[in-house]
Structure 1
Amino acid sequence: MEHVAEEFVSLQSRHWKPRTHKRNLHAIKRQIQPVRGSLPVKDIARSDIARWRDGLAARPGLFNCALPVLSSMCKLAETLKLRPKNSNPCRNVK
């Protein structure tokens, strides 16, 4: 997941406004990498996302900010052929 995070930031950050840049980096470093960082991106399943969401139940704002970032990272992983097409585990997560 770390490789995808680095690639995601290098490719996408130039399009971000300063506040978005700060928020997305914070989400990656504080919410995504500590939990998903050791798991290969191809192995992240919908059940992992549900457990992650449930683990942040006391602070739902953190999950709500980090989920779109993780979803975009998974979409990039599909583009890079690190995940099968249309396999984004974040899709339609409430």
Structure 2
Amino acid sequence: MELEAAFGDAAKKLGRPLTVQTVKPLPKYDRLGGVSGLLLIPLLIGGYLASVLLLKATETAAAPWHVALLVGYSAVGALRTDLIAGPGIGAY
């Protein structure tokens, strides 16, 4: 809704037509998309804790494998969260 209004204002200023098409509407029980936003919280907290624990375990921030471990951890965490929220409990 907010994006549609912002793009509508920009289109008026530029004198161009604007066509809005909903590709996939949100379900009626989650009209604001709150589930997707709420799923971000545990991923952010988990990623922060993983980075802090990894830094404390290695005693140096310059370990060359730090980035690879954190990327792997974030990918596995995101996949597990999506599997639990999607097919697991049917949140989306």
Flag the structure with more relative contact order, 1 or 2, with Cα contacts below 8 A and sequence separation at least 6.
1
Structure number with larger C-alpha Rg: 2
TM-score per shorter chain, which class? 0.3 to 0.5
Using structure 1 for the length normalisation, give the TM-score. 0.34
* TM-score, length basis structure 2: 0.34
